[in-house]
Amino acid sequence: MPPQVNSLSGRLSEADAALFYKLWMGLLDYVNCKFQIDNSLGKLLSPRGLDIEKLLPIRDKLWTDIVLIDEYIENEKKSLSNDEITILRGWKTAVCDKFIVMKHLKKYSVLMTSEQSPLLFGTIGIMSTWEELVPTEMLPVMIDCVLIPFRNEIIYDSFLLGGNIRFGSSYKKSFNNAYRASKELYGIIMNFDNLDETRVRRAVATSRRKRILNDVLAEVREERQMISAWHKYLENAFKFPFEAVCKKQLVRSPLEIGEQVVVANLAKVKDCGEGIAVVIEWHGRKFAVPLEQLGAADPTMYFTEALEDWKYWITADCFNY
């Protein structure tokens, strides 16, 4: 049985760390020899004592020519186990980006991509935890690294660049908003098995965002006009009354998940504040609740898309769209 990843400590087990470096250094050595990038390095067997600046051109060549992994496997297939080949092939899905180290949790640390619509990755360290590498008091910190899978976990390729940029309070607030929104929309990616699915969901969300900007908010020039634009769009889309079900519990609403209500109308714009509220009939009473906590009781209703548009926007607005 192959050694298992020890994610309880936030890093690989000693055996798995040794396996990683065996495969990683062998791969870098193959790339270096093939392209004669730095002959002064000799045979690359271990990272100990090596100058990272000399290894960087080799590593960068690998990630810009990912087919080299297949060549290495073919060249070394007689000496590689099936488990080792699987690990190496998984590295072809590497994510190269600038990441923001956001949080250190008990079993992993969360890195956020620096895109406008970011993704969150739950990652562990190799021989040291992320918290040992980037102390909590320094967070958030932007780094340049490559995330790769290792069996059912996500690690990095042993190279961490940057980390010297410190952010002010406004940036920290923006990052925290983006973190919360991304977590709600896409969750935290804990392994690469569902990475493609998450990217598809984000692509669909991006398409939704473009349609909203073009169709709903095209005439909005000031922030105070946004709620009015949404109110007009939803008023035209909805057919009242309609049945809805509570999908999300909120402190400012008495509804609990699963409760069914009748939505009588939209609340007036002046009563909506910074969101959209709807007037519901519930237990013989009428009052307003936030629209985003409701879902259509019948998902086939023609205006469900408009409802989902608002629920997406109220979450993704944290991305400063």
* Per-residue confidence (pLDDT) for residue 6, from 0 to 100: 44
- pLDDT tens digit sequence for 221-230: 887 789 999 9
**Which 3 state secondary structure label does DSSP give 311?**
helix
Bigger pLDDT: 212 vs 50: 212
Question: Which pLDDT value is given to residue 224?
Answer: 79
Model pTM greater than 0.95? no
The CATH number, out of the four listed (1.10.230.10, 2.30.30.530, 3.30.460.10, 2.40.260.10), of the domain defined by the range 221-319: 2.30.30.530
Distance CA 26, CA 13 (A): 20
pLDDT value for 319: 58
Q: Is the peptide bond before 241 cis (omega within 30 degrees of 0)?
A: yes
What are the angstrom distances between the C-alpha of 268 and each of 33, 265, 272, 273, 290? 71, 9, 6, 10, 13
Distance CA 198, CA 179 (A): 15
Q: Delimit the domains of the chain by residue range.
A: 7-92, 95-207, 221-319
Of all residues in the chain, what percent carry a pLDDT higher than 90?
A: 76
pLDDT digits (tens, 9 = 90+) for 116-165: 889 999 999 999 999 999 999 999 999 999 999 999 999 999 999 987 77
Say if residues 119 and 201 touch (Cβ distance below 8 Å).
Answer: no
Tell me what pLDDT residue 4 has: 45
Amino acid at 135: P
Query: What's the rounded Cα separation, in Å, for the pair 205 and 118?
Result: 12
Report the C-alpha gap between 176 and 27 in whole angstroms: 37
> Which segment of 11-15, 118-122, 162-166, 308-312 scores lowest on mean pLDDT?
162-166
Query: Is residue 320 over pLDDT 60?
Result: no
Q: Which of 317, 320, 248 is nearest to 289 (CA)?
A: 248
Looking at residue 44, what is its pLDDT? 87
User: How confident is the model at residue 132, as a pLDDT?
Assistant: 95
Q: What share of the chain is helix, strand, coil (3-state, %, to 5)?
A: 45, 20, 35
Q: Phi, psi (5° rounding) for residue 4?
A: -100, 155
What contacts 84, CB < 8 A, 6 or more positions away?
Answer: 19, 23
Distance CA 19, CA 192 (A): 19
Q: Are 190 and 158 in contact (CB under 8 A)?
A: no
Instruction: Let me know the angle formed at the C-alpha of 201 by 200 and 207, rounded to the nearest 5 degrees.
Output: 90
- Cβ atoms of 279 and 265 within 8 Å: the answer is yes
What is the average pLDDT score of the chain? 91
Mean pLDDT over residues 162-191, rounded? 89
Q: Give the CA count within 13 Å in the CB-facing half-sphere of 27.
A: 28
**Distance, CA of 150 to CA of 147 (rounded, Å):** 10
